[in-house]
Chain A
Amino acid sequence: MNAPATLTYREALKLAIRAAIERDPRVFLMGEDVARYGGCYAVTKGLAAELGEERIRDTPLSESAFVGAGIGAALAGMRPIVEIMTVNFSLLALDQIVNTAATLPHMSGGQFAVPIVIRMATGAGRQLAAQHSHSLEGWYAHVPGLRVLAPATIEDARYMLAAALADPNPVLIFEHVMLYNANGELDPAVTAVDIEKAKIRRAGRDVTLVTYGGSLPKTLAAAETLAAEGIEAEVLDLRVLRPLDWDTLAASVARTHRCVVVDEGWKTGSLAAEISAGLVERVFFELDQPIARVCSAEVPIPYAAHMEQAALPQPEAIVAAARALVRPA
């Protein structure tokens, strides 16, 4: 593999897909417009010509049907990667994902494994309006039987797929739409990542900023601003939304004693709510301030650019929330 020195998140995903298909004859990718068109976010552009339409397969426009077909292929011994255009459309396959993929291993007493990987885009910021912009990964993180990943870095985009395919149970990978064009370097010394642990992306002693996916760059920017004010924020990238890495979360908050959760989902009933509650259960006596949350406004994501931006978590709001905890007026 000739990984270029710097590459985009999109290119890292493509490298991962190509490597997986080349390495294992059981692996194939299917979804809407993934072959001839190259994928709605161009992740698989050119792969069909390179690897053949047996391995990169266009499907009819029916999420329920092709996710169900993927589950069947997994039950029959294949290692399918199913691409759904966005999490918004995955609702059409909710029955297959929640009632079938997540439950069969349990309901069959372990006789059937469902080693499927389902990739989908999530999040807002590209003016695609309410039916294409929501962040519903938190819903899937609610469901036992699923592993839910949110690669936020080039490295995770490159290597999470292999770990997901190696998992005998269904794994969902959420790719934030604003990350596809992000640039970064791959450390040639790293050839695999775990899909178990959260990661501290920036160390700090004053407050833990918990985030994942598309909110990671915004949270790191906020940490820079806070550093200029003398507030050292620790940035924790969840990476794995289910099961959550409580050890890393609890250890960080036990060090900083303050926590802001940044989540592009809506606040009510959110992943941010789960993290907040889970931390209170685990490290209540380490907290010096209430846990704060910066989430999306509780509206369908607007189309108009200024309104869309106003509805999303932004660095200014993260800075304000952290500052209020560290320097209570």
Chain B
Amino acid sequence: MHEFRLPSLGADMESARVVEWLVAPGDTVKAGDLVAVLETDKGAIDIEIFEDAVIEALVAPLDVELPVGAVLATLRGGDDGAAATPSAMPPSATPAAPVAAAAPTPAAPPPQAPPALVPRAGTTTAPGADGFVRASPLARKQAAARAVDLATLAGSGPGGAVLAADVDGARAAATATPRPRGFDAASMRRAIGAAMSRSKREIPHYYLSQAVDLGLALTWLAEYNASVDVAKRLLPAVLLARAAARALAAHPAFNGHYVDEAFVPAAEINLGWAIALRGGGLIAPALRRADQGSLDELMAALRDLVKRARGGGLRGSELTAASVTVTSLGDRGADLVWPVIHPPQVAMIGFGGIATRPWVVDEGIAARPVVNVSLAADHRVSDGHAGSLLLEAIAAALAAPRDL
């Protein structure tokens, strides 16, 4: 028998409350299964277990503030006999900070919610004027059985229809005690403050920026979008995310964590994507392996992440998996963002608003869509020259949109 302890979902997290168990004693769980819902500074987060085991007993009481490391449940099988370390971190998770005073949570200047990231009509099931939600009969039956409101789900079926798999992905909203899945703005602000203070105190930042012509990328995007269904259209943010991820693959000194006085490169490129929350919060869950797969898949992952960041249902591992953070201010954002690194990460990339600017082309001046790409990086790990090469690589990736 061994213990499942309250995981740290970021260095700034000191405590949390279990508000709901998703398993019962005797249940067999597999690595990656959701076991409980925690109320944290970042709102309600679903936490996973990272081993195969049988739940022996649920130890933690509901709705009681518990410190990180507190025993939540006891397990049989799995790691029995192994060191009694909390096993709640995935391999790619942020390495545990030395003290319970580490700090993750988003980064710097709370970026304006990139308006472009709001899922569009056609990908969500917002009821039509008559209140009818497109959903399969099986999805209706399952939603009714689990008290899930179909209108809150994103449909993956034809025309955005909700399918059974979409209901499976959603958790029963109304369990014993219905509970809002929001976040407490004041406590989230305190957590952001703690993380950013630590960042400015400990990390010797340096900053670079470069203006990049997005003409080719946006022309390609417009052509691509004209050739696909409305629901399959891509947003510029996906090109920016993919370009950043590809550049990071070639410049690994910016992708990883600074732990115990040393840089530990990350095996995967998991972009923490800064998402502004309505009501003044900020969260940066991970877009896993953002350098891999098709743009379609990345778009779907981004939509899903934004939806869950705002509507509830983020997983604990998504808050700990980021190896670098990206913020994109979107169409109506400021020209340029100077990021504050999210410890223990070592870099953050910012994209300012895309604006039409005068640009020198072939000795003449043309109006081009331009974005300022900025980098804040940790001088303990890299130097400005390396940072320049990273920005150059992002610019080069955006100049060859077909290869993204």
A residues near B (Cβ < 8 Å) are: 257, 284-289, 328
Within the complex, the shortest CB–CB distance from B124 to chain A, in Å, comes to: 16
* Given A328-B156, A328-B158; A285-B163 close (CB under 8 Å): no
With A257-B164, A328-B163 known to touch, is A287 a contact of B156 (CB < 8 Å)? no
Tell me if A287 and B163 are in contact (CB < 8 A).
Answer: no
In the assembled complex, which residues on chain A have CB atoms less than 8 Å from the CB atom of B157?
289, 328
Bits for B153-168, please: 1 = Cβ < 8 Å to A, else 0.
0001110000110000
In the bound complex, do residue B163 and residue A284 qualify as a contact, i.e. CB atoms below 8 Å apart? no
A285 & B158 in contact (Cβ 8 Å cutoff): no
Closest to B166 in A: A288
Complex Cα distance, B138 from A287, in Å, reads: 5
**Can you give 15 contacting A-B residue pairs, CB < 8 Å?**
A257-B138, A285-B140, A285-B141, A286-B138, A286-B141, A287-B137, A288-B136, A288-B137, A288-B138, A288-B139, A288-B163, A289-B136, A289-B157, A289-B163, A328-B158
Q: A289 — which chain B residues lie within 8 A by C-beta?
A: 136, 157, 163
* Majority secondary structure of chain B interface residues (helix, strand, loop or mixed): helix
Minimum C-beta distance from B378 to chain A (A): 42
Determine the chain A residues whose CB is within 8 A of the CB of B140 once the complex forms: 285
B118-141 vs A, Cβ < 8 Å mask (1 yes, 0 no): 000000000000000000111111
Nearest Cβ distance between residue A89 and chain B, in whole angstroms?
Answer: 43
Determine the interface band of chain B, counting residues with CB < 8 A from chain A: 10 to 19
**Cα–Cα, bound, A313→B141 (Å):** 33
Q: Determine how close the nearest CB of chain A comes to the CB of B136; give it in whole angstroms.
A: 4
Q: Is the pair A284, B156 in contact by a Cβ cutoff of 8 Å?
A: no
| Closest-CB distance, A321 to chain B (whole angstroms) | 14
Chain A residues with Cβ under 8 A from B158's Cβ? 328
CB atoms of A285 and B137 under 8 A apart: yes
Across the interface, which residues of A come within 8 angstroms of B136, CB to CB?
287-289
- Closest Cβ–Cβ distance, residue B313 to chain A (whole Å): 21
- With both chains docked as a complex, state the minimum distance between the C-beta of B155 and any C-beta of chain A, in angstroms: 10
Q: Nearest-CB distance from B300 to chain A (Å)?
A: 11
Give chain B residues whose Cβ lies under 8 Å from the Cβ of A288.
136-139, 163-164
Distance (whole angstroms) from the CB of B112 to the closest CB of chain A: 33
A328 to chain B, nearest CB (A): 5
Chain B nearest CB, measured from A257 CB (Å): 5
Query: Shortest distance in angstroms between A256's beta carbon and chain B's nearest beta carbon?
Result: 11
A73 to B158, CA, bound (A): 57
Nearest chain A CB to B16's CB is how many angstroms away? Answer: 36
- Residues on B with beta carbons closer than 8 Å to the beta carbon of A257: 138, 164
A277 → chain B closest CB, angstroms: 15
Determine the chain A residues whose CB is within 8 A of the CB of B139 once the complex forms. Answer: 288
Q: How far is the CB of B277 from chain A (nearest CB, A)?
A: 31
CB-CB contacts of B173-208 with A at 8 A, as 1s and 0s? 000000000000000000000000000000000000
Return B146 CB to nearest CB of chain A, in Å: 14
A200 to B398, alpha carbons, bound, how many Å? 53
Q: For the complex, what is the distance from the CA of A200 to the CA of B363, rounded to whole Å? A: 73
Least CB distance, B175 to chain A, in whole angstroms: 23
Q: Which residues of chain A have C-beta atoms less than 8 A from B163's C-beta?
A: 288-289, 328
**A286 neighbours in B (Cβ, 8 Å):** 137-138, 141
Residues of A within 8 A of B137 (CB): 284-288
A285 — which chain B residues lie within 8 A by C-beta? Answer: 137-138, 140-141
> From B162, which residue of chain A is reached at the shortest CB distance?
A288
Name the interface residues of B17-56: CB closer than 8 Å to any CB of A.
Answer: none
**B340 → A minimal CB distance (Å):** 40
- Tell me, rounded to whole Å, the shortest Cβ–Cβ distance linking A191 to chain B: 41
| CB-based nearest A residue for B141 | A285
CB-CB nearest in chain B for A280: B137
Q: In the complex, which residues of chain A have a beta carbon less than 8 angstroms from the beta carbon of B138?
A: 257, 285-288
Give chain A residues whose Cβ lies under 8 Å from the Cβ of B164: 257, 288
Q: A286-B137, A328-B156 are in contact. List 18 more A-B contacts (CB 8 A).
A: A257-B138, A284-B137, A285-B137, A285-B138, A285-B141, A286-B138, A286-B141, A287-B137, A287-B138, A288-B136, A288-B138, A288-B139, A288-B163, A289-B157, A289-B163, A328-B157, A328-B158, A328-B163
